[in-house]
Chains A and B, each alone.
Chain A
Amino acid sequence: MNSATDQLAIRARDLTKTYDDAVALDGFSLDVWMGSVLTLLGPSGCGKTTALRVIAGFERASGAVEIRGRRVLDADTFVPPDKRRVGMVFQDYALFPHMTVRKNIAYGLPRGRNTGRVDEVMELVGLGRLGERMPGELSGGQQQRVALARALAPEPDVILLDEPFSNLDAALRDRVRRELKVILTEARTTAVFVTHDQEEALATSDIVAVMRDGKVLQADTPAHLYTNPVDEWVATFLGDADVLETDAVGGFADTVLGRFTTPLSGPVAVMTRPEDVQISVGETPNASVAHIEYFGHDQLITLAMAGGVRVRSRIGSRPNYRVGQQCRARAIEARVFKRSA
């Protein structure tokens, strides 16, 4: 074993799992580095929850999984979930309704050494004096913290969180998400989140792994992922994007938004993000304002361009345009992908 794999908290290789009528995992591979926060991001039904459950040991799959260098799953090995040292925070928290908060948190600890550690974790997640309450008496945010505290208490090698924010309302979600990030950093725990929310994934993670149809398409830092998606699908899945179809010739792809360099030739798709599309007036116009969505802190302007093409531009709260106004649009940044004919 080399030093690189020593630092891997999770190493999943070629996980494949089929249900009666659907493929859940199809050659899923993933590396999670020690101490990092990774998010599995993908649309509903892409297999991300299944992947998490296979890693935790609640489901079997073909392929191999190592946790901190220990083989927990392969063709001849199946370490049951209670022996994997993996903490799990379930989507609806799965708190034991018949136990107090304190008992819930102490559940994963060996009898005898509970009290100190329970207090420590309750302190860490900021549960204060709620120890004797029953789960049913807590708010959603508090329940979430209990679930997290319970998972953290036995000091697992990794902690897995299945859509941990989905049961919280939007206002609470942002706050809890920030808190959680701080707690995880403080606890120096490796964490794997599952979500279908792009913004959540980009905001919380060190690494985002984008999944589709049971496999990881790309795993990268949020910034790199956003600006350098591997293909058109990943690009559009991660955020607003407009795609212009054209042909690349001699190292260039020409579009209504300008000329972009590319090593490709033949049919290509040029992807731009609204924030990279700039508008100006006074130059030769190539677009007209078709629609304006004004959000206050910014605005999204839909432009009608030659050939019926529509492109969006995100600009600050000023200047203000009116519908029908002629203007010039150009993209300062774009990605060029090969287009399947």
Chain B
Amino acid sequence: MTVAAPPARERARQQRALSRGWWTAAILVLIPVAIPPISLLWQVLSRGSGVMLPTDRLFELFLNTLVLTAAVTATALAIGTTTAWVTTRTTIRFRRGWMILAALPLVIPSYVAALTIIGATGPGGMFERVFGIEVPTPYGFVGAWLALAIFLAPMAHLIVTPGLQLIDPATEEAAVGLGSSRLKAFFTVTVPQLRPALVSAGLMVGLYTLSDFGAVSLLRFDTFTRAIFTLYQGQIDRRPAGTLSAILMAVAIVILIAERRTRGRAQYHKTKPPRRRQHTDLNSRQRWLATGFLGTIVTVSLVVPVAVLTYWLTRGLSAGQTIPSIWPEIGRSLTVAIIAATAAAAISIPVAMVTARQSSRMSGWAESTVWGTYSLPHITVGVAVVGFALAWARPLYQTLFLLIAAYVVMFLAQSMSSTQDSIRRFNPYLEEASRGLGHSQISTLFRVTIPLIAPGLLAGGALVFIGVIKELPATLLLRPNEFETLAVRIWSTTSEGFLTRASLSGIALIAVSIVPLFLVMTRELSD
């Protein structure tokens, strides 16, 4: 009967299964999550915009930001979709290995990417010293575009791959059988089915680009984030930075809403994964082409950066340069990342519960709030939280607590969506079975719910960990004085031109992110 019952009734039944306790907890979580956008709006509305930039400058920033976002998104999607297709659908050798290698550059933050570009090019760069070829450093648009597109392609790859795995290859074969070419079949049959994955990959890459601060700053391309930071640092009056942040926030929210519109209801129609996985046979020419393509991507995005960092490190060491120990920075980075990841995983439970188990207007709002804050560029969250602390919570200003709390609200969406996924996978009757067997709500939570969603909590926590380890702009604004993390160290040393020091921190940062990334990848890219 449960199966035949009308969906509305079924939904209603699921709703009854949630107690008020879950909602209370969820709302307690949502309040701090809503603080950044509200605080930013309040700052602008209540205190005025302050001295603003001249309009032509504003227009330039706007144009730069949008053009960069569009270019990076298109490039990263093209590369990521191609690597995803080749590594899921063809008979290429070491397919699984390539699949993981293509996602691995995700551990390289944009500012480390920028650092490797700076370290490799220009007079005295690695290319000149090793190969004798001097490549001019691509400052400005080209550099920022390359750094971001190449290092965000893995994100697209990671999102598109599971999407591709859900599509029955037989549909593409059917199209070929009906006389269309492989390429036409891909674009007319596979791409439309892949649309939800492509749209969400585009959203993630786009928002990330909008939010990027490290690469555009190091490569000197004027976008909103760079301008906000300059305004914030250079002036006593913080209102212009707030105003600019609010504009950037508006852009992010427009993108988020556009994505929601495009996605429509598609997300609810989950198709069953196909029973069999067919891999397209490649002839030897195609195989070389595919391998060459993957090889180039992996070289540029993974081998070269690691090589450049290693080169500068060994060069500095052999020249007798003494590098101050970075153990304290590693310790600080790990501490904040682990605390933030654990907290985010824990508090994601009530929010994920009310959003995964209900489809009411309230749960819709709850989910939008979490995603809304996640979509905010980190520098705007930094500006918002500083403003909030100065106005309402002075004792918290420049404390570790505030920094970690900001991380948690910034990255909560990642652990929420991972937890939601786990919750949707298990049968709500399990909890009722536990209640019926005499266990209280709390006992049921610890003995049934949490053990069952543990993989999701772990994967979500790992994503938050990676995010926090890499985070730069909000950290710069919110950290306590003298609190230097790996990211801050890389930032400050590159800006002083000490490539050797920065390289060591860059390598350390990549090293500590690898383990959690593997954790995430084995879940996302399971074949």
Report which A residues bind B (CB closer than 8 A).
19-22, 24, 44-45, 48-50, 53, 56-60, 80-88, 90-92, 94-98, 107-108, 150-151, 154, 162-163, 194, 196
Contact = CB atoms under 8 A, between A and B. Distances in A.
Nearest to B439: A82
A87 B17 CA distance: 18
Contacts of B9: 19, 21-22, 24, 45
B435 A96 contact: no
A108 B434 CA distance: 7
B1 A107 contact: no
Contacts of A83: 438
Contacts of A57: 435-436
Nearest to A110: B438
25 contacts: A19-B8, A19-B12, A20-B12, A21-B8, A44-B4, A45-B1, A53-B13, A57-B436, A58-B17, A58-B435, A81-B432, A81-B435, A82-B437, A84-B436, A88-B436, A90-B432, A91-B2, A92-B429, A94-B427, A96-B430, A96-B452, A98-B452, A107-B447, A108-B437, A108-B439
Given A81-B435, A107-B439, A163-B1, A20 B8 contact: yes
Nearest to A98: B451
B154 to A, nearest CB: 33
B25 interface: no
Contact of B16 (A49, A59, A91): A59
Nearest to B426: A97
B132 interface: no
Given A45-B4, A154-B438, 5 more contacts: A45-B5, A86-B436, A96-B433, A96-B452, A107-B447
Nearest to B432: A58
B440 interface: yes
B12 A82 contact: no
Chain A, interface SS category: loop
B396 interface: no
A136 B429 CA distance: 16
B395 interface: no
B448 interface: yes
A58 B444 CA distance: 14
Contacts of A163: 1-2
Contact of A44 (B1, B8, B427, B438): B1
Contact of A196 (B1, B6, B426): B1
Nearest to B437: A108
Contacts of A82: 435-440
Interface string B379-407: 00000000000000000000000000000
Given A19-B12, A58-B17, A194-B1, A81 B452 contact: no
Contacts of B451: 98
Give the 7 A-B residue pairs with the shortest CB-CB distance, closest first: A108-B437, A44-B4, A94-B429, A19-B12, A81-B435, A94-B433, A88-B436
Contacts of B438: 82-83, 85, 108, 154
Contacts of A107: 434, 437, 439, 447
Nearest to B452: A98
Interface in B414-447: 426-427, 429-430, 432-441, 447
A98 B16 CA distance: 25
B452 A80 contact: no
Interface in B1-59: 1-2, 4-6, 8-9, 12-13, 16-17
Nearest to A159: B436
A88 B439 contact: no
Contact of A88 (B8, B426, B427, B433): B433
Given A60-B16, A92-B427, A92-B429, A81 B436 contact: yes
A60 B16 CA distance: 8
B432 A94 contact: yes
Nearest to A105: B437
B427 to A, nearest CB: 6
Contact of B435 (A49, A80, A196): A80
B11 to A, nearest CB: 9
A59 B430 contact: no
Nearest to A46: B1
Given A20-B12, A45-B9, A59-B13, A90 B437 contact: no
A10 to B, nearest CB: 15
Nearest to A89: B433
A216 B107 CA distance: 63
A97 B452 contact: yes
Contacts of A86: 436
B199 to A, nearest CB: 31
A20 B12 CA distance: 7
Nearest to A91: B2
Nearest to A107: B437
B499 to A, nearest CB: 50
Contacts of B440: 80, 82
B20 to A, nearest CB: 12
Nearest to A24: B9
Contacts of A50: 13
B17 to A, nearest CB: 7
Contacts of B12: 19-20
A57 B16 CA distance: 11
Nearest to A150: B437
Contacts of B427: 92, 94
Interface in B442-498: 447-448, 451-452
A95 B438 CA distance: 15
Contacts of A94: 427, 429-430, 432-433
A138 to B, nearest CB: 16
Contacts of A80: 435, 440-441
Nearest to B447: A107
A211 B433 CA distance: 25
A89 to B, nearest CB: 9
Given A81-B436, A82-B435, A196-B1, A22 B8 contact: yes
A140 to B, nearest CB: 15
Contacts of A150: 433, 437
A139 B9 CA distance: 31
Nearest to A83: B438
A86 to B, nearest CB: 6
A56 B435 CA distance: 10
A163 B4 CA distance: 12
A163 B429 CA distance: 14
Contacts of B448: 96
A49 B440 CA distance: 23
A151 B432 CA distance: 12
Contacts of B435: 57-58, 80-82
Contacts of B429: 90-92, 94
Contacts of B13: 19, 50, 53, 59
A90 B1 contact: no
A88 B433 CA distance: 7
Nearest to B444: A82
A319 B1 CA distance: 40
Name the residue in B9, B12, B433, B441 with the highest tally of chain A Cβ atoms < 10 Å from its Cβ.
B433
A300 B500 CA distance: 92
Given A44-B1, A58-B17, A94-B430, A22 B6 contact: yes
A107 B433 CA distance: 10
Contacts of A84: 436
A112 to B, nearest CB: 14
Nearest to B429: A94
Nearest to A88: B436
